[in-house]
Structure 1
Amino acid sequence: MASLKTSLSERYTAVAILLHWLIAAGILALIVIGLLMTQFQSTIGPMETFSLFQLHKSIGITVLLLAVIRILWRFTHKPPSLPADMPPVEKGAAHGLHWLLYVLMLGLPLTGWAVVSSSPFNLPTVLYHLVPWPDLPILPHLANKGAVSHVLGWVHAYGAWTLIGLLVVHFAAVFRHQVIKRDNILARMVPGMKLGGRRQ
């Protein structure tokens, strides 16, 4: 039978690919640092913990800025269509998962920024030890900053676990498409991989 080319002859733009992998690297770094800060805090010293918090904040703001650019690029540059033979339910799930990831790419850095802004410790944020970063408005002046910061921290933490769960689903979907279905959909986001549909 003929090779199924359909939308798999298309690739994401170079800008979209670059932003995708930069954000992915940033998110993975944030997850690792976040786990170190929260799950292994007793095994590292206070100075190391402080440095990890500063690095976490720096990467988080970077991911936020990159995510804004990525979403703006997404609205102005149509991505490749999903394979024509993909069932509608799978297409809906794929689109839904992508938009949930976009929401968390914005929401998690914003809630983290809000946690820092409402913290009673009033620790400054200096991105990568170079760029002073302001607090969000209003939050630093609240009378009950501690309680607000605690609630925001809870939202941020559970949002992070939700993101981890969605990433597991995302990786599983990529594995299914690439290894089981062999439709080579991953090649649209990986430079150098050969495009083309599966053989039937």
Structure 2
Amino acid sequence: MPVAMPIPAERYTLVAIILHWVMALGIVALAIIGLVMTHVKLPPQSLFQLYQLHKSIGITILLAAFLRIGWKLRHRPPILREAMPPWQRAAATWSHRLLYVALFALPLTGWAAVSASPFDIPTVLYGVIPWPDLPILPTLAHKKQAEAVLENIHDYGAFALIALICAHAGAALHHHFIKRDTVLRRMLPGRRAAQTKDSAP
């Protein structure tokens, strides 16, 4: 008796959609907080609280990235059915790969910089959960230099991630408003977003 082949999903699963938008909102929050921390003169206590919030959201994004990868391995994303030139498919594939690299690299370099800091300020996620330093880094002989290098990598990586996200969002909006296909709707929650055909004639 022939085995029925599973029908490919037309859109992402609800879990994937939630993780995607939680991470997107978290990254926007991190970018805003990072700019405020580095460009606005604040009282020491307010600055400390912002740093703790920045670290808390960063670790949350790191954990969400692990969940997203695990979920993606168990639940294949929908096939991109829209006709696209090979170079656009390649660009989409590599931009997603670079986004995942950045989503792991940014929190890890931030965590590493905090771990190497000579100030030894503890990290408490959302003021509730103590978070450990990475191993080895707190015992370095030249912690200040290591912290400076890691902070530079983190800062430049943040600008690279913002550029990738802008390109990613721009491509999604181009598909939605110009090409009028289903690329963006596959990642939007709600029943109306689940429709696979354009409502426009």
Q: TM-score, normalised by structure 2?
A: 0.91
Instruction: Measure how far apart 1:39 and its partner are.
Output: 2.1
User: Does the 8 Å CA contact 1:9/1:195 hold for their aligned counterparts?
Assistant: no
Runs of 4+, deviation exceeding 3 Å: 197-200
1:134-188: CA deviations, max 9, x gaps? 0000000000000000000000000000011111101110110001110132111
Partner of 2:18: 18
User: Which of the residues 99, 124, 127 maps onto 1:126?
Assistant: 124
Partner Cα distance (1:121, 1:107) in 2: 23
Offset at residue 122 of structure 1 (A) = 0.5
Indicate the RMSD between aligned Cα atoms, in angstroms.
1.7
Give the total of aligned pairs: 192
Q: Which residue of structure 2 lines up, in the alignment, with residue 98 of structure 1?
A: 96
Please report how far the alpha carbon of residue 83 of structure 1 lies from its aligned counterpart in structure 2 after TM superposition: 2.4
Which structure carries more relative contact order (alpha carbon 8 Å, separation 6+)?
1
1:194 CA displacement = 4.2
Structure 1: runs of 5 or more not aligned: 1-6
Whole-angstrom CA distance in 2 between matches of 1:133 and 1:11: 36
Distance 1:146 1:127 in 2: 24
| Cα separation, partners in 2 of 1:32 and 1:103, compared to 1, 3 Å | same
* 8 A contact 1:117–1:135 mirrored in 2: yes
Residue of structure 2 equivalent to 1:33: 33
Find the residue that maps to 1:56 and give its secondary structure.
helix
Give the SS at the match of 2:189.
coil
Unaligned runs of 5+ in 2: 1-6
Contact kept, 8 Å, 2:11 with 2:194, in 1: the verdict is: no
Identity %: 53
Aligned to 1:4: none
Q: In structure 2, do the counterparts of structure 1 residues 9 and 118 end up closer, same or farther at CA, with 3 Å as the change threshold?
A: closer
